[in-house]
Amino acid sequence: MGGENDATGRADDEAVSRFVERFAAELTEAGMQRMASRVFAALLSSEKGSMTSAELAEQLRISPAAVSGAVRYLSQVDMVSRERDPGSRRDRYVLHNELWYETFTRRDQLLARWEKALRDGATTLGRETEAGARVAQTADFFAFLQQEMAGMMDRWRAYRDERGLA
């Protein structure tokens, strides 16, 4: 795919657009809302990790209302925040610095809640029953995931720090 970068190393607009749509399709396939996926991919691929509503609408060729709905969703799931440009009345939408780390940390909190609910369910169903044993095993799986996730996040921080990615 040579020829997609200019002399400064920046990708041309068409190549960026193809990346945004491809990654957005992957996010949508994984369950994220389509427009939120597109807005997120555009923000992720922007040079500063932030864009105004007008910039997003222009790049993605969507309405300001579509941008607003997507940003509302992304804000609710803590993937972006809204900031005001100094001396301006325009809002700028910004990716969180530790986006993936924060996302997986929140997922870990969700796993803890699910594990507790499953343990309660196993007790309610009776651990000696097939249903109770199945629910208890599912709780054990979520406990295992939490333990592994914590270690993985520690290894990520060490990896990031060793390579000066922080």
What is the distance between the terminal CA atoms of the chain, rounded to a whole angstrom? Answer: 30
> pLDDT grade, residue 3 (50/70/90)?
very low
% of the chain beyond a pLDDT of 90 = 56
Q: Which residue has the higher pLDDT, 11 or 48?
A: 48
CA atoms within 13 A on the CB side of 117: 6
Instruction: Report the percent of the chain where pLDDT is more than 70.
Output: 90
Q: Looking at residues 37-51, what average pLDDT do you find?
A: 93
Q: Are 34 and 24 in contact (CB under 8 A)?
A: yes
If one compares 34 and 110, the residue with the highest pLDDT of the two is 34
How do beta strands 80-84 and 50-52 pair? Answer: unpaired
pLDDT band at 5 (very low <50, low <70, confident <90, very high): low
Q: What is the mean pLDDT of the chain?
A: 87
pLDDT at 2: 46
For residues 67 and 61, the answer to whether their CB atoms sit within 8 Å is no
Q: Please tell me the distance from the alpha carbon of residue 53 to that of residue 1, in angstroms, as a whole number.
A: 30
Q: Which helix (H) or strand (E) holds 91?
A: strand 91-95
CB of 142 within 8 A of CB of 109?
A: no
Kindly tell me if the per-residue pLDDT of 91 is higher than 70: yes
| SS3 state of residue 23 | helix
DSSP letter string, 28-71: HHTT--HHHHHHHHHHHHSTTSEEEHHHHHHHHT--HHHHHHHH
Query: Confidence band (pLDDT; 50, 70, 90) for 121?
Result: very high
Task: Please compute the mean of the pLDDT values over residues 65-70 and round it to a whole number.
Answer: 95
d(CA 122, CA 99): 34
pTM over 0.75: no
Question: Residue 98 has what pLDDT?
Answer: 72
Please name which of 32, 101, 37 lies closest in space to residue 66, comparing C-alpha atoms: 37
